[in-house]
Amino acid sequence: MENLGQITEFKSSPELVEKLYQYSIQKNYEPGSIILNENANIHSIPIVTKGMIKVIRTEEDGREILLYYIKSGESCIMSFLGGLHNETSKVKAEVEEEAEILFLPVDKVSLFIKEYPQWLDYIFRLYHKRFEELLDIINAIAFKKVDERLLNLLHKKSALTQSNIIQTTHEQLANELGTARVVVSRLLKQLEENGNVQLGRNKIIITEG
């Protein structure tokens, strides 16, 4: 998705698409860049047009947990509400894959809601999606064991990158799951023994499913 015109809700309104491009500022980011920091003020909302971003919740002591990914064509809906209410961000957003992002000033966000019903539909759809993802996360951390969550995460990453080779470190995975590196190493070893994965340096190969 390199063109906002491809977004379902926007197909019926080229005018909206044009306005979006007109009022947004485009920026490019390398993997690892921080788009949005916890407690940062929000002046504009990001719409991802290329690449992928991950949204992370952090605890004061530095521990983190992955909430969800923002894929191309999607926006960070938390920024949206935060911006609307003039609040600071409750999450951190980090670039996972080289990304191109449009930043739309919050005043335009509100304006477009009044003028373009498609824009509101878009926002609602994303809201809905994020809500469900958060519910899934809650179920996972409340009821699932770490090994199952780990395997799920690997599958999700595999699906996102459309490859069964995952480039990451145990430390990374531990952060995203909100646990410690040793735990991940231990469980990965088990998964390898069970034939679920094959381990390498900075690399995990999924050998089933």
Partner DNA sequence: CCTGCTCTGTAACAAAAGTAACCGTACAAG
Partner DNA sequence: CTTGTACGGTTACTTTTGTTACAGAGCAGG
- Residue ranges binding DNA (CB under 7 A): 145-147, 169-171, 178-183, 185-189, 199, 201-203
131 is an interface residue for a second copy by CB under 8 A: yes
Q: How far is the C-alpha of 84 from the C-alpha of 107, rounded, in Å?
A: 8
Q: Give min distance, CB of 39 to DNA, in A.
A: 24
- Residue 193 binds a second copy, judged by CB under 8 A: no
Q: 62 is in the binding site of which of DNA, a second copy, none (Cβ under 5 to 8 A by kind)?
A: none
The nearest distance, CB 27 to a second copy, in angstroms, is 25
How big is the site for a second copy, counted in residues (CB under 8 A)? 33
Q: Does 208 bind a second copy (CB under 8 A)?
A: no
d(CA 23, CA 157): 33
Of 149, 69, 72, 77, whose CA–CA distance to 106 is shortest?
A: 77
Q: Does 37 bind a second copy (CB under 8 A)?
A: no
Say if residues 52 and 71 touch (Cβ distance below 8 Å).
yes
183 touches which of a second copy, DNA, none (CB within 5 to 8 A by kind)?
DNA
Specify the pairing of strand 34-36 against strand 92-105. antiparallel
Residue 205, classified by CB atoms within 10 Å of its CB into exposed (0-12), middle (13-18) or buried (19+), is middle
